[in-house]
Amino acid sequence: MTQTLENKSVLLVISGGIAAYKSLELIRLIKKAGGAVRCILTKGGEQFVTPLSVSALCEEEAYTDLWSLKDETEMGHIQLTRDADMIVIAPASANLIAQMANGLAQDLASTALLASDKPAIIAPAMNVRMWENPATQANIAKLQEYGHTIIGPSEGDMACGEYGMGRMLEPEEIFAALTSAPQKKTENAAKPLAGKTALVTSGPTFEAIDPVRFIGNRSSGKQGHAIATALQQAGANVTLITGPVSISDPAGVKTVHIETAQEMLKACEDSLPADIAVCAAAVSDWAPKQHEQKIKKRGDASPPHIELNENPDILKTISNHKNRPSVVVGFAAETENLEDNAKAKLTRKGCDMILANLVAQEGAEVFGQDKGHIYCVTAASVDNWQPMSKSAIAKKLTDTIISSLDETETIKSAAE
Ligand code: CTP
């Protein structure tokens, strides 16, 4: 991944939110990486950071006014987005998001963004209820559909005293999204997975018992999301299919949100054909026969009986699909007989590689943790990867997939 923004010009839009102070650090990171930053402050943004601080850090005027004769003569509002290689909106308030989703041009920021045909990276920041409001969620869905990338928000304590989703990502995370944003075609073509498509499953599935209860598990999605990011950074066109998680969608990755195993299977089949499939999701093995109404307590009567049906095996389905990807990878959690169990799973599922987590040992994978101890099992070998971070596992898996694709292609061209 390129950490440099040498010769890149970034247009940063700062709208109203306490998180605006973090954008000052973002300007510093962009400048340090060699990028130039121009900044538009909305009226709300100006309540949290001053044009003076912003322009001192940017070493350039901070733009605030649509009707400024001086600004319009020197740098028209259309030129602001025209000149930018990248546009980032941080913090993106609920109001600015709504303006963008609905094509409104009410101030300099919304007018400049409406006059732009470039995809923007949007880092929302707002109160949890504003974020969860169906109107905001519909606006976010629209912006994604228009090709913008939404990063965050994350979960945590909020300035207003509430807790939940709505915190803007940290400046380092926004900077990482900028440096990993899809590069121009020529830059991307040099990457090892350029032109390849990948699908990755991640997170848990939730299977409804009744309208308010479900069977789920504690999968955080960290490993699957890290794999989607690593494949994207290697140049692949990635679709991530994820169950409900509290981490944000990876930058530059098309992310499909599902709840049940059936929905995950459908989204996977819709994403085929693909060159690579990695099934990292913790799919619930069973789904309850769903009750239409909430199950009520029945006095002294015995607890309700929940009938379970087996869920489809997504990894097995992809491995045996008529549009089977060239490389199919599955995961396994093993506490004993790792090699034998993983090899048996490899055959049973029909995939090419199983990343077996040794869960009984120190440093091993536990749901939600940042490290894992992987054994990479193929029909021909078992490779101990030693305990490492989930992003390092993702990178190592990506390298292994690249070698495996190279081998397949060499064999194919030798046979032709
Ligand atoms: N998997 C899947 N669809 C399912 C169940 C599992 O795609 N319905 C995938 C998972 O994403 C993972 C692998 O299959 O890649 C895990 O296989 P599984 O049989 O569930 O193994 P374990 O979780 O290790 O459990 P067990 O050995 O007890 O069966």
Q: What is the pLDDT of residue 3?
A: 64
Q: What is the pLDDT of residue 1?
A: 43
Q: What is the pLDDT of residue 171?
A: 95
Q: What is the pLDDT of residue 187?
A: 46
Q: From the candidates 39, 58, 160, 268, which is the catalytic residue? A: 160
Integer Cα distance of 319 and 264 in angstroms? 15
Q: Is the CB of 315 under 6 A from ligand 1?
A: yes
Q: Is the CB of 314 under 6 A from ligand 1?
A: yes
Q: What is the pLDDT of residue 243?
A: 97
Q: Which structural domains are found in the chain, ordered by start?
A: 9-180 (3.40.50.1950), 197-295+302-415 (3.40.50.10300)
Q: What is the pLDDT of residue 2?
A: 46
Q: Is the CB of 377 under 6 A from ligand 1?
A: no
Pick the atom of ligand 1 nearest to 329's CA: 15
pLDDT tens-digit series, residues 295-353: 988 777 788 889 999 999 999 999 999 999 999 999 998 888 889 999 999 999 999 99
Check if 351 is active-site. Answer: no
Pairing of strands 36-41, 327-334: unpaired
Question: In terms of residues, how long is the chain?
Answer: 416
Q: What is the pLDDT of residue 241?
A: 97
Closest CA to 225 of 206, 243, 240, 205: 240
- Residue 243: φ, ψ to 5°: -75, -175
Strand, helix or coil at 228? helix
- Residue ranges of the chain whose pLDDT lies below 50: 1-2, 183-187, 363-365
Q: What are the residues facing 238 on neighbouring strands?
A: 198
Q: Is the CB of 330 under 6 A from ligand 1?
A: yes
Pocket probe for ligand 1: among 263, 276, 278, 315, the residue whose CB has the most ligand atoms within 8 Å is 315
In angstroms, what is the span from residue 202 Cα to ligand 1's centroid?
Answer: 12
Pick the atom of ligand 1 nearest to 311's CA: 8
